[in-house]
Chain A
Amino acid sequence: MKQKRIISLFLTGLAMLGLFLSNVANADSELFSPHRETPKAIAQVSEVQGCVEPTEVMRRQHMQFILHQRDETMHQGIRTTKHSLLECINCHVTYDENQQPVSYKDERHFCSTCHHYAAVHIDCFECHNSKPMESVVKPIPNNPDFISPIKFDSAKAMAEQTGQPAGETQP
């Protein structure tokens, strides 16, 4: 009887420890991940229509795709749209408060969010325009594929990063 009690107490303790640890782990991931809402592809993309490659492939290999396409377009005049930088830019659009697309200099820009975080400096936008073509960004009425611009509160994001509640400043 006593043994059973001890075992059950031990098990409960273990379970509680487990819960505690998992909480700590969660808190850790929140603390140390960028935890910023990753900009979603907006124009021309709906819930059913994804990127040209699976997300995991794109995360690791997008630079290879773009590089390959770059040489084919430059030298051979092959202008397929699947792996062209222009199409990336036309699709992954982030808007600012005034519903204008942001450039790569803005941290909210699709490419910049990750490259800022990973401290990767890219040269693409020294020459290429980082904003989508005008014909693409115009919100098309009654188009279900066009999702309203992402709300981005910079003060709130800053607060989340530093662990300070929004609106308060350090004395």
Chain B
Amino acid sequence: MNQQHSAPDMQPESMQLGDHARRQFFLKVAGASAGLALVPGLVLQQVSAAKTADQPVSNKVRWGMLIDTSKCAQGCDDCVKSCNEANGLTSHGRPASDAQWMRKVTVKDKQTGKVTSLPMMCQHCEHPPCVDVCPTGASFKRDNGVVLVDKHICIGCRYCMMACPYKARSFVHETVENQKPHAPRGKGTVESCTFCVHKLDQGEQPVCAVGCSQEAILFGDLNDPESALSKRLKEVSSMQLRADMELNPGVRYQGL
């Protein structure tokens, strides 16, 4: 719920580096010049920052987001619009069944009457329930913490939609045409926010973080103590939605 709560949350994440990651890290360090390896901090940063097209993602990085709800303007849906635009989510005029990766939610504290507006999407949990229930392995978590649907093997059973406590996933009910080249979408599969994974792979930020006119979304690497996100999280009090479920979402909210 607050800073003290967040600190122990983050601790196990940075400690949980598997053998694979350690091996990769040492390989990379060995590959880099010996001079650099003498400065561990510097090397760490470089490993987490740079990824060329032929390199696999590493669990040195964990992508996350901080959403400042005090900045998030009521009635503004810039993030949702930019998401729909960038990922080719077109409406069929049936809001009940149209796919949505991101939505605006308005919550009201009944006792004080305070109204808060916030964007809601896949929270990219460390322990995603959607992955647990998937019968085919289509729902999976990348090493860098991004939770995705492999639509090649998704059978459209929608168990993951039931399992997600954030209602973050959508089922594609209708035939899709003219998809964006980087965001393939098709009838009969489940989909959700991808953290704009095609952009992440190229070292860019998700479109919602860029498109927010209020600058309420801060995106970054939770594992890198020097990232702007980690620094901000250290300063301000933030919370995870349904922290009681201990899913450790990568998306955190400030001012809720």
Which residues on A are within 8 Å of B, measured CB to CB? 70, 72, 74-81, 86, 89, 103, 126-129, 131, 133
User: What residue in chain A is nearest B53 (Cβ atoms)?
Assistant: A79
Report chain B residues within 8 Å CB of A70: 152
A75, B55: Cα distance in complex, Å: 12
User: What residue in chain B is nearest A131 (Cβ atoms)?
Assistant: B178
Report chain B residues within 8 Å CB of A131: 178
A108, B243: Cα distance in complex, Å: 54
Report chain A residues within 8 Å CB of B185: 127
User: What residue in chain B is nearest A90 (Cβ atoms)?
Assistant: B181
Question: Which of B140, B176, B200 makes the CB contact (< 8 A) with A75?
Answer: B140
Q: Does B187 make an interface contact (CB < 8 A)? A: yes
Q: Does B144 make an interface contact (CB < 8 A)? A: yes
A72, B57: Cα distance in complex, Å: 10
Report chain B residues within 8 Å CB of A129: 178-181, 184
Q: Give the number of chain B interface residues (Cβ < 8 Å).
A: 31
Q: Does B132 make an interface contact (CB < 8 A)? A: no
Q: Does B186 make an interface contact (CB < 8 A)? A: yes
Q: Does B71 make an interface contact (CB < 8 A)? A: no
Do A75 and B150 touch (CB < 8 A)? yes
Report chain B residues within 8 Å CB of A128: 179, 181, 184
Least distance between B173 CB and chain A CB atoms (Å): 14
Least distance between B221 CB and chain A CB atoms (Å): 14
Report chain B residues within 8 Å CB of A81: 53
User: What residue in chain A is nearest B176 (Cβ atoms)?
Assistant: A127
Q: Does B189 make an interface contact (CB < 8 A)? A: yes
Report chain A residues within 8 Å CB of B55: 78
Q: Identify the interface centre among B142, B184, B201: most chain A CB within 10 Å of its CB.
A: B184
User: What residue in chain A is nearest B172 (Cβ atoms)?
Assistant: A127
Question: Which of B144, B181, B182 makes the CB contact (< 8 A) with A77?
Answer: B144
A27, B30: Cα distance in complex, Å: 65
- 15 additional A-B residue pairs with CB within 8 Å, beyond A76-B143, A77-B144, A78-B56: A75-B142, A76-B56, A76-B142, A77-B56, A77-B201, A78-B54, A79-B201, A81-B53, A126-B187, A127-B151, A127-B179, A127-B184, A129-B179, A129-B180, A133-B181
A77, B201: Cα distance in complex, Å: 6
A-contact 0/1 string along B40-76, CB 8 Å cutoff: 0000000000010111110000000000000000000
